[in-house]
Every structure is written in C-alpha cells, then in structure tokens.
Amino acid sequence: MAISSSSAHSLSPYQFAWRSSSFASPLQINRFSFHPIKSNSKSSLRVLAMRRPSKATVVTGQSWSTSVLDSKTPVLVEFYASWCGPCQMVHRVIDEIAAEYAGKVNCYVLNADKDPRITEEYDIKAVPIVVLFKNGEKCESVVGTMPKEFYVAAIERVLSSSS
C-alpha cells in the first residue's frame, strides 16, 4: 500500500512507513526523507528507513582545518560510525544543540570510519564521542551516549573559559 498525502502528514518522527516495492525513489514528507532498505526478500512490501536532515554539518579530513582548527567560534564535533546504534541517539541530541547554540557553537559530525587520519590524530578509540574545540585546541570531550545535560554542561564550560 502507498502512503496517501493525508496519512503521510500524521507520521511521527519515529515511525516507519510501508510502501509497495514498485516505488524505488526516496519519499519526501515534511522535510523527512524515507529511503528504501535493500533486501533480498521477494516480498512486495519494503520498509523505508527515515532520515531526518541534520542540523550539524558534515566535516571531513579535507575540511577539518578550515572548519574546526581555524574557527573563531567554539566547535563541537561528534565522531560517529554509520553502523553504531548509540550514535543515532547522540545525533538527535547534537541536532537539538546545533539549533539551540546556533551562532555560539559550530556543530559538526565526522564519520570515524571514513576519516581514520583525524580519528587517530585525536586518539578516538570508540564512538560515539563528542569533542569540543576552542581556538583550534581540544578542550572537552564526552564519551558515549549521555543525557543532553552532559553535552550542554561541557559546552557551557567551553563558552565560559577565557582561553
């Protein structure tokens, strides 16, 4: 069955959508995109995974210096991996923080598997980890999946520090 426009708007941010396998392209609903999950199943129904647009910008090894090290604004970087379940929970928190601290803190996400040089340089051994930088220097980190208050407290410490 296909999602009708009337039922599509009633989806919560954490629901999944079911569609007929005859639709191969992503489905757009209220700024969310649903992408087909590849399956070897011969079933006519497929689950579409929901991806919410991130408020944190992707940073890579190529953009690291200009985005993080040369920034005049404090920087938050979430190191993650695409296979990491807890990273998805941290993504949601970092998106909220990116919106709340817009203009005060630049928020980025870095895929640790795609940029091993950066992860090795900062001795990142596990994901998720959130690292805060000020004036190009690492000054705070929060390891693992923590409540939003942990990240906010670290940000506030960085913002109130004199260096």
Q: Are 80 and 95 in contact (CB under 8 A)?
A: no
Catalytic-labelled residue, pool 77, 84, 127, 158: 84
Q: Are 85 and 64 in contact (CB under 8 A)?
A: no
Q: Are 94 and 78 in contact (CB under 8 A)?
A: yes
Catalytic-labelled residue, pool 50, 56, 75, 87: 87
**Of 142, 82, 144, the residue nearest 111 (C-alpha):** 82
Segment holding 60, helix H or strand E: none
Judge whether 107 counts as a catalytic residue. no
Q: Would you say how long the chain is, in residues?
A: 163
Q: Are 82 and 113 in contact (CB under 8 A)?
A: yes
Strand pairing class (106-111; 57-58): parallel
State the catalytic residues.
84, 87
